[in-house]
Amino acid sequence: MVTQPQRDGPAFSGSISFSKVVELSWPVQPNIPQWPGDPDVPFETVAEVEQDGYFLRRFSMGEHSGTHLSAPSSFQTRAPGHEAYSPQDLVRPAVVMDISAQAEANRDYALTMNDVLDWESDNGPVPSGCLVLLRTGWQAKWINPADYLGGSQVDGLHFPGFGLDAAQVLLEGRGVAGLATDTAGVEPGTDTGFSVSQLALDSRLIVLENLTNLDQLPPTGALLIIGLLRLEGGSGGPVSLTALVP
């Protein structure tokens, strides 16, 4: 288990000022990319304005479909679900690490310790308590689920993510509050053991997947607000992510 770095205290202090608001979540609809074996996302109309006086649909989806947060109970039977995260946990400064060029050349690319050090040489130390958002450029593939996932079987997926060594540096050495990505998993698709997810969730940290619009964020300075749909006992659930950009 990861030794828990010091992350106590508010995620930010003082006043908030921003010049732009960026939506980082994908809309929920039936044709979103789905992890192999996950349930479909059907919508059914149950009331029409002409017939019932109002419009209403019902839908269903897996807890890890679309833009979502994973809870510790994803991998541990007695671990907490969404109750592990307080409202204060869900408002965090964010940094963006861009590996889109590397991922374009190698769709299995994993963020390295050297990538983290290079980012710090340009932007300063990764702040303790922040969320690290990994920009891979994968949002451009969202409309093509086969290309987005890079395969149709769990043991044959291909997309970039955080390398385990880099994740350990960020979680243990820098004390970040969690990891997020614009792909289907924080670790590369070839990592069938979900090593980075387990590393973060073992310490009750934040894991966010299937983000979009990371190209609209600066490397540092944005404030991320996680609107979590709190499903009782959930292993994960949809989120509405908003970034406030200075």
Identify the pLDDT of residue 6: 41
**Tokens describing residue 154:** 């769990």
CA diameter of the chain: 63
Read out DSSP for 142-188?
Answer: TT-HHHHHT-SSGGG----EE-HHHHHIIIIIS--SEEEESSS-SS-
- Domain 20-35+62-245 CATH class label: alpha beta
Identify the pLDDT of residue 215: 98
**Number of C-alpha atoms within 13 angstroms, CB side, residue 50?**
1
Strands (E), the chain: 20-23, 43-47, 56-59, 68-70, 91-98, 110-111, 131-135, 161-162, 178-181, 206-209, 222-228, 236-245
User: What is the tens place of the pLDDT at every residue in 51-74?
Assistant: 999 999 999 999 999 999 999 999
Q: How many helices (H) and strands (E) does the chain have?
A: 6, 12
pTM of the model: 0.93
55 Cβ neighbours under 8 A, 6+ residues apart: 45, 47, 48, 49
Report which of 39, 49, 65 is spatially closest to residue 231, judged by C-alpha positions.
65
Coil, helix or strand for 141?
helix
User: What is the tens place of the pLDDT at every residue in 21-47?
Assistant: 999 999 999 999 999 999 999 999 999
Domain ranges of the chain: 20-35+62-245
- Spatial separation of the C-alpha atoms in residues 221 and 131, rounded to whole Å: 11
Between the alpha carbon of residue 103 and those of residues 11, 112, 183, the distances in Å are 31, 12, 11
Identify the pLDDT of residue 13: 61
Identify the pLDDT of residue 238: 95
Between the alpha carbon of residue 217 and those of residues 163, 213, 224, 245, the distances in Å are 22, 8, 11, 7
Backbone angles phi, psi at 88, to 5 degrees: -65, -35
Mean pLDDT of successive 10-residue segments in the chain (246 residues)? Answer: 43 76 97 96 98 97 96 91 92 98 98 98 98 98 98 96 98 97 98 97 96 98 96 92 97
Identify the pLDDT of residue 5: 39
Amino acid at site 240: S
